[in-house]
């Protein structure tokens, strides 16, 4: 336990045996040991420095699609450098900053050591590796081009994540407009309309149907505003929970976003 506490995260850049630029993260007691471990894998280190710590660290870290992208890219680089598969998982897993990712990668490594192929081991983690990922890895294993397919998978997933970010960015403005419009409408119904209601009643005139509807809606909002807030909160909370736990729901949301005519 004390040994693990002494480990330091380093960010490195270098070239593999083929002379191609590569990079990643590694955990070691110091920079000298980190360089030595990388050199043993055939990496010529160009630069290595201690990974800066984030200002705020979450208590629990989940595995994100970006983590999977980085993993695929790092595994492809290490395999291209001639590093054995099991040792590659050991390097990536122990050098990862996300404890959840480290745990998963070391679990996959254990499955491979027990005799599973990489594709079978990944299928056991179907929450993070979809059918396409596993099928391409299996094809790469059978054809002897695993590192090439992993590199293509990483490129594909990076493009998908880039598209998702663009869609979310494009949706930010309309969502903000809707939220502001909802807040303004609620303020009008709860605080402004009642003032005009008293004014209209003082006239004693028959009001138009739409005006009566707005007044009725205002009275309902004044009485049940807490229920509206609760429903909105419950809706967002339910969405977050289902999105986190259901892969099918996440795929549905992602496919819907990708089909939106926004970009």
Report the relative pairing of strands 44-50 and 21-28 from DSSP bridges: unpaired
**Percent of residues in the chain assigned helix, strand, coil, to nearest 5:** 70, 10, 20
Per-domain residue ranges of the chain: 1-51, 161-259
Alpha-carbon distance 123 to 74, whole Å? 19
pTM: 0.54
pLDDT of residue 260: 66
**Per-position DSSP letters for 113-149, written without gaps between them:** HTT--HHHHHHTTTTTS-HHHHHHHHHHHHHT-HHHH
pLDDT in tens, 215-261: 888 888 888 878 888 888 888 888 888 877 777 787 787 777 667 66
Q: Which residues contact 21 (CB under 8 A, 6 or more apart)?
A: 13, 14, 15
Alpha-carbon distance 90 to 144, whole Å? 21
Dihedrals phi, psi of 101, to nearest 5 degrees: -65, -40
pLDDT of residue 2: 37
pLDDT of residue 54: 62
Segment-wise mean pLDDT, segments of 10 residues, the chain, 263 residues:
58 85 82 87 87 60 86 91 90 86 90 90 88 92 91 90 84 86 85 78 72 82 82 86 77 74 54
Note the CATH architecture for domain 1-51. Answer: Roll (3.10)
Q: Please answer whether residues 37 and 95 qualify as being in contact, where contact means their C-beta atoms are separated by less than 8 angstroms.
A: no
pLDDT of residue 204: 67
């Amino acid at each position: 336990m004390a040994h693990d506490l002494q480990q330091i995260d380093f960010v490195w850049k270098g070239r593999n045996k083929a002379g191609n630029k590569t990079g990643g993260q590694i955990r070691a007691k110091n920079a000298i040991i980190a360089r030595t471990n990388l050199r043993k894998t055939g990496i010529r280190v160009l630069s290595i420095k201690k990974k800066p710590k984030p200002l705020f660290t979450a208590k629990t870290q989940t595995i994100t699609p970006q983590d999977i992208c980085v993993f695929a890219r790092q595994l492809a680089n290490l395999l291209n450098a001639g590093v054995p598969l099991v040792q590659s998982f050991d390097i990536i897993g122990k050098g990862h900053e996300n404890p959840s990712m480290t745990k998963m990668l070391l679990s996959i490594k254990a499955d491979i050591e027990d005799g599973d192929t990489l594709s079978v081991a990944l299928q056991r983690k179907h929450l993070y590796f979809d059918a396409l990922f596993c099928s391409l890895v299996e094809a790469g294993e059978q054809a002897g081009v695993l590192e090439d397919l992993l590199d293509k998978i990483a490129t594909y997933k990076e493009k998908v994540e880039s598209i998702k970010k663009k869609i979310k960015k494009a949706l930010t403005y309309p969502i903000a407009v809707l939220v502001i419009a909802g807040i303004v409408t609620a303020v009008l119904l709860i605080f402004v309309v009642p003032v005009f209601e008293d004014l209209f009643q003082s006239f004693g005139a028959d009001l138009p149907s739409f005006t009566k509807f707005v007044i009725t809606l205002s009275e309902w909002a004044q009485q049940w505003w807490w229920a509206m807030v609760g429903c909105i909160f419950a809706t967002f909370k339910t969405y977050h929970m289902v999105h986190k736990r259901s892969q099918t729901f996440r795929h549905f949301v992602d496919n819907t976003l990708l089909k939106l005519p926004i970009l």
